[in-house]
Structure 1
Amino acid sequence: MPAHVVVLGAGFGGLEVTSTLVDELGSDVAVTLIDRTDGFVFGFSKLDVMFGKATPEHVFHRYDDIVRAGVSFVQADVTEIDAVARRVSTTSGQIEADYLVLALGADYDVSRTHGLAEVGHEFYSEAGAFALHDELAAFRGGDVVIGVTAGPFKCPPAPSETALLVDELLRERGIRDDSTISLVMPFPRPIPPSPDASAALLETFAERGIAWYPETGVRALDPQLRRARLGDGSTLPFDLYLGVPVHRAPSVLVESGLTVEGWVPVDSATLETPWPGVFAIGDCAAVGTPRAGVFAERQGATAARRIAARIRQGITDASYDGRGTCYIEFGGGEVGIVEVSFFDGRPSGSLEGPSLALAADKREFGASRIKRWFGRDWTPLPS
């Protein structure tokens, strides 16, 4: 009888756990992958759709297309988790596991920022990003504010990328001189662990006239005055507000008693929670690294190898190293690559690029993951 591993959440982490387990164990494991949605979209693909480089259909990968032996996909909402019994209740029924992996990501609390739902646009969810394609297509210039409410938030480079891509879009339309772009972020620099990447971004912001407001967040939007109120009490006018909403752990994790100070506690090296046989990875887990897909993927591989070793009744030295590679869009087709490390003493990161050549590296990154997880060929940007 194969061991049964239940994976809650089919993002970067959940997909990598699933693939690694099958690679390691073959027919000795049965994996049930559960997600409330019916498909996967890369974070960078959301920006591709926003700015008209790809269609929603092109960047959407259906979970039903996962055809690996031993893997079953269930589309359902998770309603309760008993970590002691490793039992999960869902809208499709109850499921018991020999091993349980929590990879449910982070949810967005748009209501926490007054006025965001009424006069702003969040661009972190698929629905929000996809809807912004038409909004950006119709925009005729004015004051643009890209605002982060508070940390932690997913994919730290994304707000900077958005500011640069908005600048590029407005220049292509010949309306950049009639517009302003402001970026508000609660960090002292755009990419805190990488001084090199931050310096390159700040230099590019200065060259392109993008106003930078560090170490503060957007607290509220005034629907009547159309002004964003910042944490320091100042305000910024906006005709178009693109916001990163407050992030929080999914309510089912909180209500099931699995969070401490808002997130699931884990051993950062092993990804094990206080409950035997239960692992947590990615955005929902308090690992100590940024909430981004590349980190969740690496965490998923580690968790899977540790589970595989237990199923084989062996030992493993698999350990999460806190490293990751992030791609940053600078506009004009140029991409930079940041290599970051969080567990080797003080967090640090180095920058390569930006350049046109590195865009091919980013495309290969996306194509290789879809080949591995879904077993098919795909190019991030259609020709």
Structure 2
Amino acid sequence: MKSRVLILGAGFGGMELATLLSEALGEKADVTVIDKRDRFVFGYSRIDVMFGKTTLDEVGLSYASFIKPGIRLVKETITSIDAEAKRVTTDGGTYEADYLVIALGADYDMEATPGLTAHGNEFYSDEGADRLRTLLPGFTGGPIVVGICGFPYKCPPGPSECALTLHHYLTERGIREDCDITFVSPLSSPMPASAEMAQALMNSFEEFGIRLLRQRTVVRLEPSMAVLDDGTELPFSLFLGVPKHQPPKVVIESGLTEDDWVPIDLPTLETRFTDVYAIGDMAATGLPKSGTFAESAARSVSTSILAKLSGANVERNTGTGTCIVEYGDGRVSYAELDFLTGPKLEAIYHPPSIAGKTFKQGFDDTRRDRWFNR
């Protein structure tokens, strides 16, 4: 059979899928990866950028270093997707495939929350984190709101990491007593998939004087005021927000979305179009939007493609992944989650510790080596 594979997006899912196909097929692989960016950044690195511990240049990994047999990675902007024909048009040309995998992640809809751009800050994008790196050192005190503007969003523990790290950052600067921190979340707990992790986070919030407002969403920002969906008004001197997420515009325009996201067959990740798959943050999986879950989805899709090419065994989507929480004081906790291999969710929780930091570094090192030979 023909083996032209086209992967849209070089995030966790796209990188892992391309690597798996290269490992299985070598030079016989015919895989093209398209991404408009020139570098990969681990999402959790943005917290370190935001608080001045590093820079985007230091954490960015150039796609020029992604060199695998049978793989071609091109830097182009996708302008249209024809899922039925498995044809993709970019600013550099047109691509046709036998297998199309859409792994473009989620974008941020800043306009969905009026006033967010004018009066607040977001810390989920590279640009937002870098802007805060220069803004935060000049902050001298006042009420702070860490607010989530929509659900679902990427990395469920990310806003908790922000609030915790912010506490330690302000403490080190000697201005914590001059600042109130309120964390607004639409969820019933900071980490619904792991009750133990959620309780540990809430205990830390209480210990550090961080006010948690659950099952609330920020719907509007006014000058120095955040308005919640229940009408609550929270004054702020600094707003740190998680914007509402949505699939990239080109995916929405392709007709692939339904009820805001791309519907898939959860065990196979296949869309309603044959041999067209969606993995990662834009897919309607019901699972956490996190890089490791995109990786497990990539493993399933790789076996599906390889089965059609060479008769290999198909591995159904396991729905497994790891959520890592940086506490901002050198400690890290993490939960290993398994949603689909058993009759119910299994969660193994590892409390915050210095050893957790070692685990996180190993997670980072493994992927740097696997994808970028670093």
Decide which of 333, 342, 348 is 2:330's aligned counterpart. 333
Secondary structure of the residue that 1:282 maps to in structure 2?
Answer: coil
CA-CA distance at 1:2 after TM superposition: 6.8
Secondary structure of the residue that 1:264 maps to in structure 2?
Answer: coil
Does the Cα contact within 8 Å between 1:2 and 1:28 map onto a contact in 2?
no
Q: Which runs of 4+ in 1 moved over 3 A?
A: 344-348
Give the letter aligned to residue 42 of structure 1.
Answer: F
Corresponding residue for residue 270 of structure 1: 268
* Separation in structure 2 between the aligned mates of residue 100 and residue 271 of structure 1, nearest angstrom: 12
CA-CA distance at 1:85 after TM superposition: 1.3
What is the Cα-based RMSD across aligned positions, in Å?
Answer: 1.3
Corresponding residue for residue 381 of structure 1: none
Corresponding residue for residue 18 of structure 1: 18
Corresponding residue for residue 380 of structure 1: none
Secondary structure of the residue that 1:135 maps to in structure 2?
Answer: helix
Secondary structure of the residue that 1:300 maps to in structure 2?
Answer: helix
CA-CA distance at 1:315 after TM superposition: 4.1
Q: Any unmatched runs of 5+ in structure 2?
A: none
Secondary structure of the residue that 1:191 maps to in structure 2?
Answer: coil
Residue by residue over 1:31-67, the C-alpha shift from the partner in whole angstroms, topping out at 9 and shown as x without a partner, is 1110111111001111111112222111101111112
* Separation in structure 1 between the aligned mates of residue 214 and residue 347 of structure 2, nearest angstrom: 19
Does the Cα contact within 8 Å between 1:24 and 1:305 map onto a contact in 2?
no
Name the count of aligned residue pairs. Answer: 373
Secondary structure of the residue that 2:327 maps to in structure 1?
Answer: strand
* Separation in structure 2 between the aligned mates of residue 219 and residue 52 of structure 1, nearest angstrom: 29
1:247 aligns with 2:233: no
Corresponding residue for residue 138 of structure 1: 138
Pairs within 5 Å for 1:60-99: 60-99=60-99
Corresponding residue for residue 369 of structure 2: 371
Decide which of 316, 322, 328 is 2:313's aligned counterpart. 316
Q: Any unmatched runs of 5+ in structure 1?
A: 377-383
Corresponding residue for residue 231 of structure 2: 233
Residue by residue over 1:76-134, the C-alpha shift from the partner in whole angstroms, topping out at 9 and shown as x without a partner, is 11111111111101111100111110001111000111111001001111111111111
Pairs within 5 Å for 1:126-165: 126-165=126-165
CA-CA distance at 1:342 after TM superposition: 2.3
Does the Cα contact within 8 Å between 1:2 and 1:29 map onto a contact in 2?
no
Corresponding residue for residue 282 of structure 1: 280
Does the Cα contact within 8 Å between 1:197 and 1:350 map onto a contact in 2?
no
Residue by residue over 1:180-228, the C-alpha shift from the partner in whole angstroms, topping out at 9 and shown as x without a partner, is 00100001100011110010000000000000000010010112xx110
Secondary structure of the residue that 1:6 maps to in structure 2?
Answer: strand
Q: Percent of aligned pairs with the same residue?
A: 45
Residue by residue over 1:116-155, the C-alpha shift from the partner in whole angstroms, topping out at 9 and shown as x without a partner, is 1001001111111111111112211211110001210000
Does the Cα contact within 8 Å between 1:2 and 1:27 map onto a contact in 2?
no
Corresponding residue for residue 215 of structure 1: 215
Residue by residue over 1:266-307, the C-alpha shift from the partner in whole angstroms, topping out at 9 and shown as x without a partner, is 111111111111111001111121111111111112111211
User: Could you state the TM-score of these two structures normalised by the residue count of structure 1?
Assistant: 0.95
Corresponding residue for residue 200 of structure 1: 200
1:293 aligns with 2:270: no
Give the letter aligned to residue 16 of structure 1.
Answer: E
Secondary structure of the residue that 1:302 maps to in structure 2?
Answer: helix
